[in-house]
Chain A
């Protein structure tokens, strides 16, 4: 499974709404900007956000002789995307499924999509430690080039759920690349005063306590928020923003671990 994929990066968080999909899409877009061939798999079946964020909502999946052909963002086919959103007739359609059905859908996503040769496969997940996560872990156990990035916001209530996700990774034996803190501080556009709406420093102290690398903090930036629905990379559109800095550093770090062979 996924033999033609050099690296698999899982984006996880115990908590919902912390920015997993934003991190997944921006990471995929940044890697694409750097010239890599990237796949982005959205396994949030009940709330797929990736098609909207990348402005691919009206696209369809086609069946080829080798399997499902993902939707490509660009003509050069540098970034392929797979999401259940492409399989729904209307954007209002709900996927009211219990675990076993979700499990078999994810298995199909992992086995039957024809990604071609990929440098990176980024997997966006729903919050929690349940069916979707267990299924992905069970199937990726045989894929050694797999690691996870955890996303959190600075508040205690989010940190608490992410601690559970760390336990989950440790139990299932998945390597954790590090922790990203999102929504850390909001700079008032009127007076430039920075307010820590969701407290501050939580991600960093979690990384210290659990002895994991801290991959940076992304502030609340309405300009980055406005990129959702457009499908453009922050590193291209807003090269000076703190968000771009975090993703540039992240890609450098990913490449370092790549060349170390670990």
Chain B
């Protein structure tokens, strides 16, 4: 890998080069001083900030799937409700990291709620006494509002969600994600590097076209070193409410 940034001026010697900040091409580059000072850019300070913020969160679990519409948000919310019911002393938080299509406010039935900002950070919305939610859905004025953002802006939002939400003490923080293996996913893993993510739950449906994308997600988890806790298969069987016969999504009948 070269150390030349994508947006560097023509003939940039590269940030790791001995000529960094000193070559003629560096004149006028806004980063010239940083390069010339020779101090290597350290890890993102946000990682440390998030580590401190999430110090009282025991388990951080990502719900992932390469495919859209397989039930990531449903699995996340039911897992949250399940854990919260299991033991009233457990505290569960859900973070909706799907910036362009946030579904959690509707799935959890807390649409139209407001998040409040105080000295200790954003207060999440409480669904029950021990289940709280943070989603960009709470920050939009109308359900028609679209979040038309490129990657860096989405990353900034995720950084804020991780570093500025006042979750209190949590046993589980469940993170719902959009489909894919891109900005949101990379940022979550990178920002959680200090705090330490427990692992990922993968959601799929039985069709090959979904498995195809979920295999990619497993590869992603391996690449970034995120342990896979297991795979949930959703929409496996349809039981006709009229004749009670179960049909698999392949069209085969259940015996």
Contact = CB atoms under 8 A, between A and B. Distances in A.
Given A130-B149, A167-B145, A186-B238, A16 B247 contact: no
B93 interface: no
A47 B65 CA distance: 10
A129 to B, nearest CB: 5
Interface stretch (B10-18, B26-34, B100-108): B100-108
20 contacts: A18-B69, A46-B179, A46-B180, A49-B213, A94-B216, A95-B181, A99-B150, A102-B182, A129-B148, A133-B148, A160-B106, A161-B101, A164-B147, A188-B242, A189-B251, A191-B242, A195-B238, A222-B250, A223-B251, A226-B250
A171 B144 CA distance: 12
A17 B70 contact: yes
Contacts of A233: none
A191 B240 contact: yes
Interface of B is mostly: loop
5 smallest A-B Cβ distances: which pairs? A16-B68, A17-B69, A99-B151, A222-B251, A193-B242
B152 interface: yes
Contacts, number: 191
B219 interface: yes
Interface in B123-169: 143-152, 154
A164 B144 contact: yes
Contact residues on A (Cβ < 8 Å of other chain), bracket: 35 or more
Contacts of A127: 68-69, 100-101, 178-179
Given A130-B149, A168-B146, A188 B181 contact: no
Contacts of B68: 15-18, 47, 126-127
B115 to A, nearest CB: 18
B245 A188 contact: yes
Interface of B: 6, 66-70, 73, 99-101, 103, 106-107, 143-152, 154, 178-183, 185-186, 205, 207-210, 212-213, 215-220, 223-224, 238, 240-243, 245, 247, 249-251, 253
A229 B208 CA distance: 9
Interface of A: 14-18, 21, 45-47, 49, 52-53, 91-100, 102-103, 126-131, 133-134, 153, 156-158, 160-161, 163-168, 171-172, 186, 188-191, 193, 195, 197, 222-223, 225-226, 228-229
